[in-house]
Structure 1
Amino acid sequence: MELTEEIAAYHDGAGEPGRLVGEFRRSALLAPLEQGPGGGLMSAVQGGVRWVYAFTDEAALARFAQARGAGDREWEYLAILGARLVDAIVPMIDGPAGVAVNVADENGAMLFPPVVGIVPEACAVDRADAA
């Protein structure tokens, strides 16, 4: 099953969290790059967590661009596996970080928060030694 199908199943109450995370880790995602000097992956902070934006395809990224009122410009992005996002990128971010997938899709968005089983344990907010 593809990631979008796993997300839909999860939203419908028929999904399995382990399968969803597994598909996320195996999926090639599009992570938009910030414009201007410094670049980096586009993200936002909400609730004390930095959420890195990622999209399952160019159409989902285009919907995000439209929602931001920037659908008329070209968006540069990095194609990256979900596993690489959480295993390599999240640990480089200062503070709690997770991945927000397809955030412009009301019924297709999914957050992968900074918890054990999704991000490396050292970065998880729910690890045993976190307080």
Structure 2
Amino acid sequence: MELVEHIAAVRAGSGDPAAMVGEFRRTAVLVPLVDDDFMTATYGGIDWIYAFTDEFALARFAEARGAARQEWEFATVLGARLLDVLVPAMDGPAGVALDVADEDGSMMFPPVQGIVPDEVAVDLPEAGTENETAAHR
């Protein structure tokens, strides 16, 4: 099953989220560049790296931003590299926003356990705090 099929199944409530994340990790996606850096947006205190499944999805995003006639530079990056290398390198919590111009096909990969490395997951206690709390009870 391709990534877009996994996303459709998860959005319909019949898919396997873990399988979808696994497929995202194995898939090369397009990440737009701005001044030689990945294009991001901040929402809810999280920096979201924009990524797209293909040039058509990127073009729909450009059109939605009123920039369809502009040339867009992009990098092709494996989903695993985005989640395991680029997200941890960001200043603060970060995730990946995939195909955001596609109302029925978009998917967010937030900075939580099982998606990003544990050391940057926002749903886990910081290293050492859990054991210190238990020791003080």
Give the match for residue 37 of structure 2: 40
1:127 Cα deviation after fit: 1.3
How big is the alpha-carbon RMSD for the aligned residues of Structure 1 and Structure 2?
1.2
For structure 1, the 5+ residue unaligned runs are: none
Superposition TM-score, scaled by structure 2 size: 0.90
Give the match for residue 61 of structure 2: 64
1:110 Cα deviation after fit: 0.1
Instruction: Give the AA of the match of 1:15.
Output: G
Instruction: Give the AA of the match of 2:67.
Output: A
SS state at 1:80 partner: strand
Give the match for residue 118 of structure 1: 115
Instruction: Give the AA of the match of 2:104.
Output: N
Runs of 4+ displaced beyond 2 Å: 128-131
Question: Are 1:79 and 2:71 an aligned pair?
Answer: no
For structure 2, the 5+ residue unaligned runs are: 130-137
Distance 1:60 1:129 in 2: 36
Equivalent of residue 100 in structure 1, options 97, 115, 135: 97
Give the match for residue 18 of structure 1: 18
Instruction: Give the AA of the match of 2:77.
Output: I
Instruction: Give the AA of the match of 2:48.
Output: W
